[in-house]
Amino acid sequence: MFKVRLQEIALPTSDRDIDSLTSWFVDTLCLVRKRGDEMADHGLANPVHRLLRDYLFAQPEVGWDAQMLADELALTPASLNHHLTRLVQSGIIGYTNEGKGWRRYYLRGGSLTNAIEIFASQASITVNQRMKIIDEYWGRQNPRLVLELPENDRPVLTLGIADHRPLVSDSEGSSLSQWMGDFGLLGERPGKEIKADSISVQLFQLMLGRDAPLSLDEAAEIIGGQKARIGRILERFRSSNMVERVPRTDRLAVALWNAMTAQHQRRGEDWMLKKGGFQRILNDKQQSKLLMALKKGKLSIDDVANELQNVEPKQQMLLLNLLGGRLPLGHRMNGEDAAQVQRNVQDSLDRVLRRMRRVAEMLESELSS
């Protein structure tokens, strides 16, 4: 079964030696879990690194006997089988049972560049086919905000890809939870999150049918659970590029009301007129009504919304900034429809695949020289 976990890693720059390029592939394919002192040597002595560098990448035309590899790498057959199974599932390595004795493992396509092309085709086709499940659960209708502000701190892409397979009859999961687990939305080791009614599944279903961005407070109130845990789940969703985190411009009036009341109590009317942006952005009538309501302690969120309804959203954002206020952040699906979410994920995958092709060419060049 094709099963791999990809992580977006920056292209090697100055270090183009065989070890650094091999390590790049190990990290990109998430073949080794890095843990403290175990990786103090940067993973160069790791069995997977040596298996690729010294055997499969170095001599791609050779079929390597599993027993011989176990002896050369000083591994037990069980340990070697674990590493080889991961490589076979990733689609980079193949094996044959032809002849007698142990399986013989080889680099698919006869070269690293060919192996990456095979991998790229399989990964793209699998993602394209399996992302269509979102259509079945999509329920968003009118997702655009008054002012669209893109996120500026997107996390590193981490995406799982796995072949479709039937759901086991006695499984506690569902087709959606299994799909989420395959794409890495439930973490490396899903555990109880694979259940059909787990918090992760409920949260993803909620976002598939919700127009407005979802804040942590709202998610905790609707689904339950601790905000810290929900925050970690949402960050996993963001890492797949299926979910984005954006400023809640739909709550602009609330943010402005908070900022106005706080600054009026702290600094007074004169500061709000001159440095708080009232004279710069609002007309005399708007200034007078808002300040009068603040002075009486009767300013409401509806008052702010009504007085600023003719002020452009960008100017409202500027006023909020001058008042020292902040917009809350919310999470939503990264696209106005299911097709756009699929395109965004595919674009992220294509970016990783382009880097893999480039590094494969660099590594083959280094090995040949």
Paired tokens of 44: 């160069």
Boundaries of every domain in the chain: 3-128+354-368, 139-247, 251-322
Q: Note the CATH number of domain 3-128+354-368.
A: 1.10.10.10
In angstroms, what CA-CA distances link 3 with 105, 183, 252, 269? Answer: 18, 10, 44, 62
Q: State the pLDDT confidence band at 368, using cuts at 50, 70 and 90.
A: confident
- pLDDT tens column, 125-177: 999 999 999 999 999 987 788 777 777 788 899 999 999 999 888 888 899 99
In 3D, which of 171, 168, 174 has the Cα closest to residue 133? Answer: 174
Q: In residues, how long is the chain?
A: 369
**Residue 338 CB neighbour total at 10 angstroms:** 19
Q: Which pLDDT belongs to residue 97?
A: 81
Q: From CA 234, how far away is CA 222, in angstroms rounded?
A: 15
Highest mean pLDDT among 14-18, 269-273, 293-297, 349-353: 349-353
Q: What is the mean pLDDT of residues 279-290?
A: 93
Percent of the chain surpassing pLDDT 70: 96
Q: Which pLDDT belongs to residue 326?
A: 87
With vertex at residue 215, the alpha carbon angle to CA 297 and CA 179, rounded to the nearest 5 degrees, is 170
Q: State the pLDDT confidence band at 43, using cuts at 50, 70 and 90.
A: low
Q: State the pLDDT confidence band at 17, using cuts at 50, 70 and 90.
A: confident
**Residue 7 CB neighbour total at 10 angstroms:** 15
Highest mean pLDDT among 13-27, 44-58, 214-228, 338-352: 338-352
The β-bridge partners of 214 are 331
pLDDT at 107 over 90: yes
Tell me the backbone φ, ψ of residue 80, rounded to 5 degrees: -65, -40
Percent of the chain surpassing pLDDT 90: 67
In 3D, which of 216, 182, 211, 212 has the Cα closest to residue 199? Answer: 216
Q: State the pLDDT confidence band at 322, using cuts at 50, 70 and 90.
A: very high
SS3 labels along the chain: CCEEEEECCCCCCCCCCHHHHHHHHHHHCCCCCCCHHHHCCCCCCCHHHHHHHHHHCCCCCCCEEHHHHHHHHCCCHHHHHHHHHHHHHCCCEEEECCCCCCCEEEEHHHCHHHHHHHHHHHHHHHHHHHCCHHHHHCCCCCCCCCCCCCCCCCCCCEEEEECCCCCCCCCCCCHHHHHHHHCCCCCCCCHHHHCCCCHHHHHHHHHHCCCCCECHHHHHHHHCCCHHHHHHHHHHHHHCCCEEEEECHHHHHHHHHHHHHHHHHHHCHHHHHHCCCHHHHCCHHHHHHHHHHHHHCCCCHHHHHHHCCCCCHHHHHHHHHHCCCCCCEEEEECCCCHHHHHHHHHHHHHHHHHHHHHHHHHHHHHHHC
